[in-house]
């Protein structure tokens, strides 16, 4: 089997922590180059820009875009226009307009575009989805609490306009819950706690409902001491589901059904390989749309400064 030739765009922390090992572990994917103006990766030809990489590696099949969010749209457009498949780290754009544009461009060109939501590839998500598909849901409660100082040291951009604040981890929960169900949820109320000296929320409570009135309540908080709580509990008429550890552990009616180590990025790249093989795209804007709806509809309250 011949491999798909992949280039990385952006070679920062998430690439070193997750992408490199995951790509190496994926049969049928070969990392052939990386583009980053500031850094290079050992053992991989480096380019200062996507443009230089496209010129220097004309046989590239695909690029994975892992730059800061606000750069992704222009780079993804450039790659799609050169006929490359594109993987976008989460979130897939700084605005909804950017993601809709990329989705339309990929459709028009019949190119592969993958808006990757890594939390959807947590080990317990597939079984949770299947279990729920056979039951009548009555309520969903999400708790997504972590200590921002432990999990995002020095990431001051989180607090600037567009940085998303607690929605940076919260969107992971939203990406899981929107994968668990095919039905839509609608935001009714949101409360956003914004530190006096920041632009983005340090905590958020969202109240959504589906079309039949089933409540989905989400509680995101950055002020939680370690260990984190990345959990959701879903009640149904036929029993109760508990997903914890960010999707690593699944308890169904009190019985442990899944308890496995985290390996989201290898699964994510296996999915990308499948998309490349079948020529399909996977672009779900819903998690980012829920964040935008919450920022538009949410009631903001000032809380103590964060430093």
**Which positions touch its own copies (CB under 8 A)?**
73, 77, 94-98, 100-101, 160-162, 164, 184-187, 190, 199, 211, 286, 289-293, 295-300
Min CB(184)–its own copies separation in Å = 5
Q: Is the CB of residue 47 less than 8 Å from the CB of residue 56?
A: yes
Least distance to its own copies, CB of residue 268, Å: 25
CA-CA distance, 7 to 15, in Å (whole number)? 12
Tell me the C-alpha to C-alpha distance, in Å, between residue 250 and each of 27, 119, 261, 276.
Answer: 28, 14, 12, 30
Identity of the residue, 42 or 196, whose beta carbon is nearer to its own copies in the bound complex = 196
Give me the least distance between CB of 128 and its own copies, in Å please. 22
Nearest to 301 by CA among 202, 156, 164: 202
Cβ distance to its own copies smaller for residue 1 or 161: 161
Distance in Å, CB of 173 to its own copies, minimum: 16
Whether residue 162 contacts residue 277, with contact meaning beta carbons closer than 8 Å, is answered with no
**CB 148 to its own copies: min, Å:** 19
Q: What is the 3-state secondary structure (H, E, C) of 49-108?
A: CHHHHHHHCCCCCEEEECCCHHHHHHHHHHHHHCCCEEEECCCCCCCHHHHHHHHHHHHH
Which of residues 24 and 302 has its CB atom nearest to its own copies in the complex? 302
Q: Taking the chain, what is the end-to-end CA distance rounded to the nearest angstrom?
A: 52
Residue 48 and residue 42 in contact, taking contact as beta carbons nearer than 8 Å: no
Q: Which of 13, 84, 90, 188 is catalytic?
A: 90
Residue closer to its own copies, measured from CB, 3 or 286: 286
What distance in Å separates the CA atoms of residue 204 and residue 220, rounded to the nearest whole number? 5
Task: At 127, list the tokens.
Answer: 């079984």
Residue 90 annotated in active site: yes
Q: Which is nearer to its own copies, 19 or 290 (CB)?
A: 290
Q: Decide whether 16 or 300 has the Cβ nearer to its own copies.
A: 300
- What torsion, rounded to 10 degrees, do the Cα atoms 291, 294, 299, 302 define? 0
Lookup: tokens for 19: 């992408």
For the bound state, the minimum distance from the C-beta of residue 302 to its own copies, rounded and expressed in Å, comes to 9
DSSP letter, residue 188: E
The catalytic residue positions are 90
């Amino acid at each position: 089997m011949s491999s798909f030739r992949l280039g990385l765009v952006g070679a920062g922390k998430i690439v070193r922590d997750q992408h490199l090992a995951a790509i190496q572990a994926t049969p049928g994917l070969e990392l052939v180059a990386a583009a980053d103006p500031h850094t290079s990766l050992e053992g991989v030809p480096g380019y200062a820009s996507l443009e230089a990489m496209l010129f220097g590696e004309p046989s590239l099949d695909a690029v994975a875009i892992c730059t800061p969010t606000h750069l992704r749209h222009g780079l993804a457009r450039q790659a799609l226009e050169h006929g490359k498949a594109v993987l976008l780290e989460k979130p897939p754009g700084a605005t909804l307009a950017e993601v809709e544009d990329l989705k339309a461009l990929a459709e028009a060109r019949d190119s592969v575009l993958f808006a990757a939501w890594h939390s959807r590839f947590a080990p317990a998500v597939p079984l949770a989805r299947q279990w729920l598909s056979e039951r009548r849901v009555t309520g969903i409660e999400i708790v997504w609490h972590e200590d921002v100082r432990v999990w995002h040291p020095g990431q001051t951009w989180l607090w600037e306009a567009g940085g998303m604040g607690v929605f940076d981890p919260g969107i992971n929960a939203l990406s899981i819950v929107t994968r668990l169900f095919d039905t839509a949820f609608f935001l009714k109320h949101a409360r956003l706690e914004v530190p006096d000296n920041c632009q983005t929320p340090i905590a958020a409570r969202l109240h959504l409902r589906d079309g039949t009135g089933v409540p989905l309540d989400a509680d995101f908080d950055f002020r939680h001491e370690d260990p984190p709580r990345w959990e959701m509990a879903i009640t149904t008429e036929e029993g109760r589901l508990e997903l914890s550890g960010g999707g690593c552990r699944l308890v169904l009616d009190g019985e442990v059904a899944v308890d496995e180590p985290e390996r989201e990025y290898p699964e994510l790249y296996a999915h990308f390989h499948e998309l490349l093989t079948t020529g399909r795209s996977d672009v779900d804007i819903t998690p980012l749309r829920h964040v935008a709806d919450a920022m538009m509809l949410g009631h903001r309250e000032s809380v103590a400064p964060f430093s």
